Every structure is written in structure tokens, then in C-alpha cells.
């Protein structure tokens, strides 16, 4: 078990706030469309990836008509440009490792945009495998506390088979990040629900195995700015990195 960094908590809260403002409805629609395309099905009961994408969209009140349109697009009913997945690896300011996952209808355009963000912000776009060895694919489940003792609840989650559990506060509410083998994500989610916990979100993530601690204020600002520029790209779905800002610097 491990405590969660203040920076990670702040980022999570900020990210959810962005979604709630509707800034990522297009990204969510693309996520649904690509899940349909890859799973060759518009039925969430058949495709776990599609089910997770739809659940995420519904959790931020994305209109049902948008969800249905994204599914139809994935099934080829609407025509138009074809979406495809893209993955980029590279080093940002301070040699922080980054993995960027995206969905695009114009790979050349997206390639140029991501390359430009790296080059203009002290980073270096690298080839496949350059940083991915510093990450591992894991299932991540966001869980609400039942209101019990923190250590007791974390032990319960571990006993259910979680690889790791991290605690954090979100709007003064106790919550947990539960990590599991990617193949066990849905099974673990079921166990957690049966144990009486409420799940906010679950999905597959690239979790860093090597952490780079940042204690310098100027570097921290550069890395944060770089991360946000990547996240603002319409074609970017997820940004993973291996940096953590020290609690002391966050407090300052």
C-alpha cells in the first residue's frame, strides 16, 4: 500500500473538472468510436473496452445522442473520416518520460502537432520502446470509501486481490486507487462492488515503474506546462508520465 502524492491528487481533480466542463466530449466520443471499431461490436456487453468508454461518458453526463452517434460511427453507419489509434513516446523537460495515446482521423497532422509540442518545450520525441519499458499496463479502479477506517478499508481491498492500493482525498472525501493485473480488471471491479464499495471509474492505464522526483520549482512548472499542452490536443486521449512533484514543493 502507498500514500498518493498531492500532485497526482491535484491532477486528478483538475482532470475531472475539465471533463465536467464538457471540454472532452469529443475525446470521449472518439474513445467510444475506436472501441466499437476494434471490438467489431456496438454492444457494451460484448466489448469490455466499449463498456468502460460508455460508463466514463455517462459519468460526466455526456448526452445519449452523442454516445449513440459515436457507436454508429464506429460501426461505419455514418461514413466520414476513419479514426485510428496512435501512440507516442518521448522525453519532456528534465528528461521526464512520457507516453501519449491518441485517436486521430489524420495521422500526419497529429504527428506534426505532437512533434512540435515536444520540440518547442525542451522535449524529444522518441521511437517506439524508448520509454515504454519504464511503464507497465495495469487495471486502475477509482473507489469511494464506505466511511470506515482508512487502513481497514485498504486492507480489505488488498485482501480482495489488489496489487496495490493508494489513498487520496477528493473534495474532502476519502477515495482509493486500486491497481490490478490488466486481465483482472473486470473481475476485480466485480469483487469490489460485491464488497460494498462504490466504483467511480475503471480502466487500463500505463503505470510508471520508475519514478522521477521533481523538487525544483522551475522544472516542475515546465513539466506541468508541457503536460497540459499535450492534454489540450484534440487528438490526445491520455498522457502518462513518470514524474512526481515532492510534497514540499506542492506545499510551497
Query: Each residue of 165-202: pLDDT tens digit?
Result: 988 887 788 899 999 999 999 899 999 999 999 988 88
pLDDT tens track for 37-68? 888 888 988 888 888 888 888 877 889 999 99
Mean pLDDT (the chain, rounded): 85
Greatest mean pLDDT among 21-30, 107-116, 170-179, 215-224 lies in 107-116
Q: Residue 13: is its pLDDT beyond 80?
A: no
Higher pLDDT, 82 or 119: 119
Under 8 Å between Cβ of 56 and 202: no
Q: Are 47 and 41 in contact (CB under 8 A)?
A: yes
- Cα torsion angle, 62, 64, 65, 67, sign: positive
Domains of the chain, start order: 84-132+211-244 (3.30.70.980), 134-208 (3.30.70.980)
pLDDT bin (cut points 50, 70, 90) of residue 136 is very high
- Name the pLDDT band for 124 (thresholds 50, 70, 90): very high
pLDDT at 252: 57
pLDDT recorded at residue 55: 84
SS3 143: strand
Q: Report residue 218's pLDDT band, with 50, 70 and 90 as the boundaries.
A: very high
Pick from 57, 115, 64, 65: nearest CA to 86:
115
Q: Span 228-246, mean pLDDT? A: 88
Can you give the pLDDT at residue 14? 47
Q: How far is CA 134 from the centre of its chain?
A: 17
Using CB atoms within 10 A of its CB, is residue 248 exposed (0-12), middle (13-18) or buried (19+)?
exposed
Per-residue pLDDT of 87-100, as tens digits, reads: 999 999 999 999 99
Are the beta carbons of 155 and 125 closer than 8 angstroms? Answer: no
Has residue 139 got a pLDDT over 70?
Answer: yes
Phi-psi domain of 143 (left: phi exceeds 0; alpha: psi -120 through 50; beta: other)? beta
- Measuring CA to CA, how many Å separate 26 from each of 70, 158, 189? 9, 36, 27
pLDDT above 60 (res 77):
yes
Alpha-carbon torsion, ordered 211, 212, 215, 217, to 10 deg = -120
pLDDT at 16: 43
pLDDT at residue 163 greater than cutoff 50? yes
Strands 212-214 and 243-245, sheet pairing: parallel
Amino acid at each position: 500500500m502507498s500514500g498518493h502524492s498531492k500532485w497526482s491528487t491535484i491532477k486528478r481533480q483538475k482532470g475531472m473538472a475539465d471533463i465536467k466542463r464538457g471540454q472532452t466530449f469529443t475525446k470521449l466520443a472518439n474513445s467510444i468510436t475506436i472501441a466499437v471499431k476494434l471490438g467489431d461490436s456496438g454492444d457494451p456487453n460484448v466489448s469490455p473496452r466499449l463498456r468502460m468508454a460508455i460508463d466514463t461518458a455517462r459519468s460526466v453526463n455526456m448526452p445519449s445522442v452523442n454516445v449513440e452517434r459515436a457507436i454508429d460511427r464506429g460501426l461505419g453507419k455514418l461514413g466520414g473520416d476513419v479514426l485510428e489509434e496512435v501512440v507516442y513516446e518521448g522525453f519532456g523537460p528534465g528528461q521526464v518520460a512520457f507516453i501519449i495515446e491518441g485517436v486521430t482521423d489524420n495521422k500526419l497532422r497529429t504527428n506534426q502537432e505532437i512533434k512540435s509540442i515536444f520540440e518547442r518545450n525542451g522535449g524529444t520525441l522518441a521511437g517506439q520502446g524508448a520509454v515504454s519499458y519504464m511503464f507497465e499496463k495495469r487495471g486502475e479502479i477509482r473507489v469511494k470509501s464506505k466511511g470506515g477506517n482508512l487502513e481497514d478499508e485498504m486492507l480489505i481491498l488488498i485482501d480482495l486481490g489488489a496489487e496495490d492500493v493508494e489513498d487520496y482525498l477528493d473534495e474532502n472525501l476519502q477515495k482509493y486507487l486500486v491497481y490490478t493485473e490488466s486481465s483482472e480488471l473486470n473481475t476485480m471491479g466485480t469483487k469490489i462492488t460485491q464488497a460494498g464499495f462504490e466504483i467511480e471509474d475503471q480502466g487500463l492505464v500505463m503505470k510508471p515503474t520508475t519514478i522521477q522526483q521533481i523538487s525544483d520549482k522551475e522544472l516542475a512548472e515546465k513539466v506541468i506546462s508541457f503536460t497540459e499542452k499535450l492534454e489540450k490536443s484534440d487528438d490526445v486521449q491520455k498522457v502518462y508520465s513518470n514524474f512526481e512533484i515532492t510534497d514540499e514543493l506542492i506545499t510551497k
